[in-house]
């Protein structure tokens, strides 16, 4: 392998990946390489698919190195200290012994000794040779089949605004690479969830927790308290829990107390994301790597630099050159070998997988997802009257639902009064839409939208209870 002063991303692509998609991933690799200066190669296979679960736009399956000893991990982190944040993290590590104690649902989990790292993270810390040529990660991107109102935007230079009905392909590529690099948590791990749910409140042995990652060493619920619970209010801290730098998502399973987003993400923060590792992406938005993202990468073992102003044209030119030599290959067997060597992707409670016969389906529950924040926006639709608008809304968004949900005729709007006449049984429809993750909220109604209070009336006053104040609700624009 040639010498290099930055992470070298070696992408391969499944047959059918488009040229513009290849360029976008090469661009994403160039961007990450400007932040990470470790002398390692990261090998990632990329595939487009129509088999991802509903509203999932991308997913990453990192190769994993298991049974990494806690004390050995900190030894390598000590030798890797290149920044003030590294020094702060090392000086405030939770334990100087061979094991540590964490919380799980308020109970102490003692003598945790073994952890796991993504292969790429393990390379950065010298657990795996930096030039090892085996796969470090597998990324699946949705081809948006079935998303008739959504399309990918391929503009790596970002010199034009993204259309309101488009998703930024580069943002998702950057996000999924972040998971491969090590932005993952064991809190959503199937093996760990099985341990927690089967304990029935009894003491869990530290030896049963083999799923924590390097990132989880900075997952706190209070001072000096690392917390592996689903739910709670976990936050990122590099000084022993004294300073909250940003909240983490709390877990995929709401029945266990999670917020519905995988724990391997920052807490979803609406239109003000904490970083590229936000769990959702809205149409018409772009995301960038933030200081919080790079701080996390820094303390888990990467050598991070601030590249200052990025020369997007130069990055793009490099991406174009790299794309000319891109490897196009069917690598199913290589992915299977990566999964087998990881020895960590086993069964877990429930599944959001597809019913397809695709070989990847058994892995859906382990893939780190980014989801589409589906905003029902109709501002750009052409209509002459409120009745026309009502017809458009019904045809576009409600026609797929059972006609029994309709109490009278299709809805019409009384001009100027923000009232609804001959309305649908909105409460039932909204419940069904929310259950299917098809509604995005707006809590800041304006004069051009149906007032939230009116909408609350339509929902029989159950808006807050039904949505638990966490889920945003559609506000239909009224011209």
Residues 146, 132: contact at Cβ < 8 Å?
A: no
181-200 average pLDDT score? 85
- Give the C-alpha distances (Å, rounded to integers) separating 282 from 165, 176, 269, 444: 9, 16, 12, 17
Rounded-to-integer distance, Cα 373 and Cα 353, Å = 19
- Give the C-alpha distances (Å, rounded to integers) separating 312 from 34, 308, 316, 317, 474: 11, 12, 6, 9, 36
Average pLDDT, the chain: 77
**Each residue of 233-247: pLDDT tens digit?**
999 999 999 999 999
pLDDT band, very low/low/confident/very high, at 409 (cuts 50, 70, 90): very low
Structure tokens at 229: 């619970």
Q: Which residue has the higher pLDDT, 113 or 468?
A: 113
| Three-class DSSP category at 194 | helix
**Each residue of 280-312: pLDDT tens digit?**
998 889 999 999 999 999 999 999 998 888 999
Task: Characterize 187-196 residue by residue with b for buried, 16 or more Cβ atoms within 10 angstroms of its Cβ, and e for exposed.
Answer: bbbbbbbebb
422 strand-pairing partners: none
Residue 216, classified by CB atoms within 10 Å of its CB into exposed (0-12), middle (13-18) or buried (19+), is buried
**Predicted local distance difference test score (pLDDT) of residue 254:** 83
| Three-class DSSP category at 478 | coil
**Each residue of 54-88: pLDDT tens digit?**
788 999 999 999 999 999 999 999 999 999 999 99
Q: Hey, what domains does the chain have and what are their CATH numbers? A: 8-63+120-185+267-373 (3.40.390.10), 65-118+211-252 (no CATH), 386-467 (no CATH)
Instruction: Find the helix packing angle between 291-299 and 169-181, rounded to 10°.
Output: 20
Q: Which residue has the higher pLDDT, 225 or 463?
A: 225
C-alpha count within 13 angstroms, C-beta hemisphere, residue 381: 20
Across 318-465, where does the E strand assignment appear?
327-328, 368-373, 412-414, 419-421
61 strand-pairing partners: 138
**Predicted local distance difference test score (pLDDT) of residue 443:** 30
Whether residue 430 is predicted with pLDDT greater than 60 in this model: the reply is no
Q: Where are the alpha helices (DSSP H) in 148-218?
A: 169-181, 190-199
Q: Which of 211-225, 299-313, 453-467 is predicted least confidently?
A: 453-467
Q: Which of 31-40, 138-147, 392-401 is predicted least confidently?
A: 392-401
Whether residue 198 is predicted with pLDDT greater than 90 in this model: the reply is no
**Predicted local distance difference test score (pLDDT) of residue 464:** 36
* Predicted model pTM: 0.76
Whether residue 479 is predicted with pLDDT greater than 60 in this model: the reply is no
Residue 264, classified by CB atoms within 10 Å of its CB into exposed (0-12), middle (13-18) or buried (19+), is buried
Whether residue 469 is predicted with pLDDT greater than 60 in this model: the reply is no
**Of 65, 35, 80, 72, whose CA–CA distance to 136 is shortest?**
65
pLDDT band, very low/low/confident/very high, at 211 (cuts 50, 70, 90): confident
**Predicted local distance difference test score (pLDDT) of residue 260:** 87
């Amino acid at each position: 392998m040639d010498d290099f002063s930055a992470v070298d991303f070696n992408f391969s692509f499944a047959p059918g990946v488009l040229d513009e998609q290849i360029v976008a991933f090469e661009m994403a690799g160039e961007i990450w390489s400007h932040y990470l200066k470790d002398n390692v190669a990261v090998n990632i296979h990329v595939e487009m698919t129509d088999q991802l679960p509903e509203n999932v736009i991308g997913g990453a399956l990192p190769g994993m190195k298991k049974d990494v000893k806690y004390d050995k991990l900190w030894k390598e982190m000590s030798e890797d200290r290149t920044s003030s944040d590294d020094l702060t993290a090392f000086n405030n590590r939770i334990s100087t012994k061979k094991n540590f104690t964490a919380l799980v649902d308020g109970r102490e989990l003692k003598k945790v000794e073994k952890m796991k790292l993504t292969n790429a993270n393990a390379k950065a810390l010298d657990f795996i040779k930096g030039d090892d040529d085996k796969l470090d990660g597998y990324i699946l991107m949705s081809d948006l089949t079935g998303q008739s109102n959504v399309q990918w935007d391929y503009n790596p230079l970002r010199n034009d605004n993204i259309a309101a009905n488009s998703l930024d392909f580069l943002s998702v590529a950057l996000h999924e690479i972040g998971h491969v690099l090590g932005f993952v948590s064991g809190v959503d791990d199937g093996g760990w969830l099985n341990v927690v749910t089967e304990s029935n409140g009894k003491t869990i042995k530290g030896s049963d927790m083999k799923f924590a990652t390097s990132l989880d060493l900075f997952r706190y619920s209070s001072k000096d308290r690392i917390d592996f619970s689903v739910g709670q209010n976990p936050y990122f801290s590099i000084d022993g829990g004294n300073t909250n730098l940003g909240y983490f998502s709390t877990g995929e399973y709401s029945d266990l107390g999670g917020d519905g987003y995988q724990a391997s993400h920052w807490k979803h923060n609406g239109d003000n994301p904490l970083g590229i590792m936000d769990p959702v992406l809205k149409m018409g938005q772009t995301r960038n790597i933030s200081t919080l993202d790079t701080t996390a990468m820094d303390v888990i073992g990467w050598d991070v630099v601030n590249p200052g102003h990025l020369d997007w044209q130069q990055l793009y030119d490099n991406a174009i050159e790299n794309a000319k030599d891109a490897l196009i290959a069917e690598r199913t067997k290589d992915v299977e070998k990566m999964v087998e060597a990881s020895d960590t992707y086993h069964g877990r409670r429930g599944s959001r997988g597809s019913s397809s016969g695709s070989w990847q389906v058994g892995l859906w529950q382990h893939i780190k997802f980014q989801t589409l924040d589906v905003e029902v926006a109709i501002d750009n639709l052409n209509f002459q009257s409120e009745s026309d608008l009502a017809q458009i809304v019904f045809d576009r968004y409600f026609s797929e639902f059972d006609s029994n949900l309709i109490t009278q005729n299709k809805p019409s709007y009384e001009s100027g009064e923000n009232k609804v006449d001959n309305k649908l049984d909105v409460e039932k429809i909204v419940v069904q839409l929310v259950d299917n993750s098809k509604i995005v909220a707006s809590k800041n109604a304006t004069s051009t939208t149906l007032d939230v209070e009116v909408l609350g009336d339509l929902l029989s006053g159950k808006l807050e209870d039904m949505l638990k104040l966490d889920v945003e609700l559609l506000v239909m624009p009224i011209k």
